[in-house]
Amino acid sequence: MTARIIDGKTISADLRGKVTDAVHRLRRDRGIVPGLAVVLVGENPASEVYVRNKSKAVTEAGMQAFDRKLPATTSETELMSLIAALNSDEQVNGILVQLPLPKQIDARKIIAAIDPAKDVDGFHPYNVGRLASGFPALVPCTPMGCVRLAKIVRPSLAGLEAVVIGRSNIVGKPMAQLLLAENATVTIAHSKTVDLASVCRRADLLVAAIGRPELIRGDWIKPDATVIDVGINRVPGEGGKSRIVGDVNFVEASKIAGAITPVPGGVGPMTIACLLLNTLRAACGQKGLPAPNV
């Protein structure tokens, strides 16, 4: 059997198109142009690429991008002042602080200083608590994208055995919360899990958010399962170049799974599309408008 490939590029392009249409309607009917501020501290090359891609996507969706680039020597107090200014700037509906931050800055303090209504990453404890309590919230973009990808294969996730590998605040934990909200039966596995292979074999829906290249082997997958691979791992490739692989051994897994996301071209593009959706939602929320039906 060969698994269906869940094409994140096409699915995210569709979502971005819908967000763009909704943004145009918002501008035309109400004169509102959602704005996202992306804050980058320091010169991490990977972060610079992410920030560039995010700002480009924001502009392409008809929204305003406010890039704020600060030197690596920025103090916590200076970054706090910038967050305070962005919190009170009416043109800014979403604030995203690119992680990781330099050592002298406590990322938790910065995240907690962002206005929860503008917290388009969904990392603020207020939004984390609301998600866990089953209230509407801004939720982290990567797991939100994963749920949308899984639902392409199975529109209802109710009753599925879902296994999430990874318990980070950015992916694993919110992923588990979102799947619980979809009425899946959720197991969270991590580095201390005993016999990970057996745990994975139970999964109708397997989400790997580990950061270990191709850790998940084909014979860990339940036949016909849906596999969502969040991992982005750079490994040595041919001719001295590097290539990107996921946390799942794609060649092996695609012979057993019913459907699988490729890396690259799966979860990655969905994350950016969901960031655009969160910015639109944040703008509507701040203007007292209903959440857009996207």
Residue closer to ligand NAP by CB (options 109, 234) is 234
Residues 294 and 289: their CA atoms lie apart, in Å, by 14
At residue 35's C-alpha, the angle toward residues 32 and 41, to 5°, is 170
Quick check: 40 binds ligand NAP (CB under 6 A)?
no
Nearest CA among 259, 258, 235 for reference residue 246: 235
Q: Are 21 and 281 in contact (CB under 8 A)?
A: no
Residue 190 interacts with ligand NAP (CB under 6 A): yes or no: yes
Residue of 97, 230, 276, 284 that binds ligand NAP (CB under 6 A): 230
Q: Identify the CA nearest to 89 among candidates 291, 283, 293.
A: 283
By CB under 6 A, tell whether 231 contacts ligand NAP: yes
Question: Is 111 a residue that touches ligand NAP (CB under 6 A)?
Answer: no
Question: Is residue 67 annotated as a catalytic residue, yes or no?
Answer: no
177 is annotated as an active-site residue: no
Residues 6+ apart with CB under 8 A from 63: 23, 33, 34, 35, 36, 276, 279, 280
Nearest residue by C-beta to ligand NAP?
168
Candidate residues 20, 53, 64, 233; the one interacting with ligand NAP per rule CB under 6 A: 233
Distance CA 56, CA 45 (A): 17
Residue 84 and residue 86: Cα distance in Å, rounded? 5
Cβ proximity to ligand NAP: between 153 and 220 the closer is 220
CB of 217 to ligand NAP, least distance (A): 12
Based on the residue annotation, tell me whether 98 is a catalytic residue of this protein.
Answer: yes
How far apart CA 117 and CA 219 sit, in angstroms, is 44
**Which is nearer to ligand NAP, 35 or 268 (by Cβ)?**
268
Is residue 167 near ligand NAP by the rule CB under 6 A?
yes
Among 42, 116, 211, 265, binds ligand NAP (CB under 6 A): 211
Distance CA 7, CA 267 (A): 9
Q: Is 217 near ligand NAP (CB under 6 A)?
A: no
Does 267 help bind ligand NAP (rule: CB under 6 A)?
Answer: yes
Sign of CA dihedral 124, 130, 135, 141: positive
Catalytic residue among 115, 119, 121, 204: 121
Position among 226, 261, 271, 278 found at the interface with ligand NAP (CB under 6 A): 271
- From CA 294, how far away is CA 292, in angstroms rounded? 6
CB 139 within 8 A of CB 164: no
Enter the tokens of residue 124. 């603020």
8 A C-beta contact, residue 184 and residue 216: no
Query: What is the DSSP pairing of strand 161-165 with strand 4-5?
Result: unpaired
Per-residue x/- track, 125-144, ligand NAP (CB under 6 A)? -----------------x--
For ligand NAP, which stretch binds (CB under 6 A), given 152-160, 176-184, 188-196, 273-281? 188-196
Stretch that binds ligand NAP, among 21-29, 75-83, 85-93, 231-239 (CB under 6 A): 231-239
Residues in CB range of 293: below 8 A, 6 or more apart: none
Chosen residue from 138, 150, 209, 248 binding ligand NAP by CB under 6 A: 209
**What is the closest distance, in whole angstroms, from the C-beta atom of residue 105 to ligand NAP in the complex?**
18
Contact residues: ligand NAP, CB under 6 A: 142, 165-168, 170-172, 189-193, 196, 209-212, 215, 230-233, 267-268, 271
| Catalytic positions, written as ranges | 54, 98, 121
